[in-house]
Structures are given as C-alpha cells and as structure tokens.
Amino acid sequence: MSNMRLSKDGAAQVAIKALPTHSAEDLTQGGNQALIVLQDQVYSLRITRAGKLILTK
C-alpha cells in the first residue's frame, strides 16, 4: 500500500503521482477548448478567461 495514504476523515486516497496527469493547455493545443470522447459521448473542455476548467456534455 505504498501508493495509498489516509485523508483527515480516514478514507484511503491514491497518491496523485500514481494517476495519469495531463496539461489542459496540451489538451487544447494552446487554445481554450478541446473535445473529449468517452465511449460514444462527446464532451467539451473549456478554459475560461479566469483560468477555470468547464467540462460540458
């Protein structure tokens, strides 16, 4: 369980470095929007002017 740690409420969490990490700027290729496909659904990922991420169906 070396990749596991406990949160303050005692729940087990996977260490962040064990998860795939992607840059939003890379996903949008320097723009502010990208499409993400999950199974047969298409989602839109958008970076706002305030630097927030919005994922919509």
What digits encode the pLDDT tens for the residues 26-53? 999 999 999 999 999 999 999 999 999 9
Task: Kindly report the number of other CB atoms within 10 A of residue 23's CB atom.
Answer: 7
Can you tell me the distance from the alpha carbon of 26 to that of 20, in angstroms, rounded to the nearest whole number? 14
Q: How far is CA 16 from CA 12, 20, 29, 36, in A?
A: 12, 8, 24, 22
Q: Tokens at residue 46, please?
A: 């958008």
- pLDDT for position 33: 98
Mean pLDDT of the chain: 86
Residue 1 has pLDDT above 50, yes or no: no
**Which of 2-6, 8-12, 14-18, 25-29 reaches the highest mean pLDDT?**
25-29
Q: Where are the alpha helices (DSSP H) in the chain?
A: 24-27
Can you tell me the distance from the alpha carbon of 47 to that of 4, in angstroms, rounded to the nearest whole number? 31
**Domains in the chain with CATH codes:** 22-57 (2.10.70)
